[in-house]
Chain A
Amino acid sequence: MYAAVRNAATVRWYIAGAALAVYLIVIPAVFHASPYILTILTTASALAFISAGVWLTFHIGRINIGQGAFALIGGYAGALAVVDLGLPFWFAVPLGGIAALAVGVVIGLPILRLRGVYFAMVTLSLSETARLAALSFSGLTGGAKGVVNIPLPGGLSLFGFTLLGDFADINKHLAFYYLGALLLVAGFAAMFRIVHSRLGWLFRSLQQNEDLAASVGVNVAQLRLVAFAISCFLGGAGGAFIASMQQSIYPASFQVQDSIYFMLYCFLGGLGYVFGPLVGTFVLFLSFEFLAGLNEYQPLIYAVIMIALMLGLPNGLLSLRLPRFATWRAWFGLRAEKDDGAA
């Protein structure tokens, strides 16, 4: 029994390692000259990073349909930092995250008292509010015209060594792909650690019973805010990254529909798994990009997937059981053991 559990874990690490190798080595090697594919994959990385925030809000028991608002805030903050303040690109992503975090803390303080459908409704309206705000404060945001021609990242050098060339001179699609990959790996590594540390246990205690958590001395209001702030940071940083990559941001860059998609990615991958939003985003976003003919039916298909999920696979894709361990062992050339029946 124990051996079976350990092998299941080993198999999972093998799969994760293989996926990471494909993502970091195989894809860049094969597609380095295909800007279209690189751009789509880079966008998927950033969207998965943003969805991770939504997942964390789920993890404290709140349904968050407002992540589009924070991606938009981050996108504008990053864009304006570069365009108006003349800061280098490298500040855009962290500043986008911090701006969204700051707004998230101010808004989160009152709204995190709400639960269930009330919290969901308020966050949903945040998405629309952010879009309208971006439209109306045209002095700052450029209104419907948005912020365009955001300069590409310059080179990055340290002590005279060039770490990265000016994006205008190098294969910028490949460079963005690697940056997106860095964002994704760093983001999910941080999330993995959160979930497996005491912080994650405390978040789950809030999800399962806030009153009980308070009764054993957990500062419920503070922890809720911490989770939401992290979520908003991820949304803002991811939004700033996408704006930099597309060199533009508009009020419509992230809207209610996007907020709903972020949530759906989490559902699809599985709310019980920290890598759920990653799997969900890549599966759904990439299927739609590569089946371009379906685009006009996208909302309809999303709705059908949502319903099918709720009915058939409520714990998401990652809850699908792996094939028998013996099969995997054979694949990876692991020693077959006699007690396979135990698995």
Chain B
Amino acid sequence: MALLEVNGLGKRFGGLAAVNDVTFSVAGGEILSIIGPNGAGKSTLFKLISSFLRPSAGRVIFEGRDITAQAPHRVARLGIVRTFQETTIFREMTALDNVVVAHHLRARASLGGFYFATRRARRDEAKFRKSAREILGSLGLGEVAGQRARSLPHGHLRALGIAIAMATAPKILLLDEPFAGMNPEETDACVAMVRGIRRRGVTVLLVEHDMRAVMRISDRIVVLNFGRKIAEGRPAEVRENPAVIEAYLGRPDDELGA
């Protein structure tokens, strides 16, 4: 059974169909990339899956359950967690505190318990701190754990966004352009990082413009254009697909690289 099924999903903004009748499914443990030209509807699709937007049509089925139009924090609780295309962090907290706060879903103590610092709450806090350090370390942020997030350089901020999402122990992670603005070396490191995340049993959905990275990392690729799915398949298949080549033809800056 597929881990996640997207069924006839659609979203209209006024007259614009940003996502239009999109259907695909995601198997547990795979890395599936969503590609397409600017404005194709990729981020909107992510927002629909993570319930940050309410679809105009269609369903999202996760582990066999219909989760369409649930509150976003409930969907996160089920294990679907997104990152943001724009750098999104808790700016005034340290990198470590960003990740500690994000452990919220793993708390076993109640809010009242945390207020009165019960034994269970103290154990939670200690566990979160330890786990946050591990996550930061595994994403190459160990050195900057104590720094205020807003003062971190861009590359670190992208990684911190991912660290925050990882703190929830997601089953499926939706990464929106994690490699944006990175140089080739940083991208290579980040590709290795995404593979590492998958190795820990997390299914990854990836929106990305860096075709070289996408072709290397993806098990499968779904291609969107003007909100519609125009192709789906393994990287080699998608690269040869005439519809895909045509969609990208008018855009010489987006090369379907090797």
Contact = CB atoms under 8 A, between A and B. Distances in A.
The residue among A193, A204, A214 with the most chain B CB atoms within 10 A of its own CB is: A214
Contacts, number: 82
Contacts of A209: 88-91
Interface in B43-78: 50, 52, 71-73, 76-77
Interface stretch (A147-155, A216-224, A274-282): A216-224
The residue among A198, A208, A212 with the most chain B CB atoms within 10 A of its own CB is: A198
B5 interface: no
A289 interface: no
Nearest to B90: A208
B164 interface: yes
B89 A212 contact: yes
B135 interface: no
A202 B89 contact: no
Nearest to A272: B92
B107 interface: yes
Contacts of B84: 211-212, 215
B93 A208 contact: yes
For chain A, give the interface size range: 20 to 34
B111 A220 contact: no
A199 B72 CA distance: 20
A176 B83 CA distance: 54
Nearest to A219: B73
Interface in A186-241: 193-194, 197-199, 201-202, 204-205, 208-209, 211-212, 214-221, 226
Interface in B122-137: 125
B235 to A, nearest CB: 28
A211 B115 CA distance: 24
A216 B90 contact: no
Interface string B87-112: 01111110001001110110100010
B73 A214 contact: yes
Interface of A is mostly: helix
Contacts of A221: 71
A209 B71 CA distance: 17
A216 B114 contact: no
Contacts of B19: none
Contacts of B52: 211, 214-215
A188 B91 CA distance: 26
A217 B168 contact: yes
Contacts of B50: 215
Contact of A215 (B76, B92, B115, B121): B76
Contact of B76 (A194, A197, A201, A216): A216
Contacts of A193: 115
B81 interface: yes
A205 B168 contact: no
20 contacts: A198-B107, A199-B115, A201-B97, A202-B104, A204-B101, A205-B101, A209-B90, A209-B91, A212-B89, A212-B90, A214-B72, A215-B81, A215-B84, A216-B105, A216-B164, A216-B168, A219-B71, A219-B73, A220-B73, A221-B71
Given A205-B90, A217-B73, 5 more contacts: A199-B115, A208-B92, A208-B93, A214-B52, A215-B50
- Which 3 A-B pairs have CB atoms at the shortest separation, nearest pair first? A217-B76, A198-B114, A217-B105
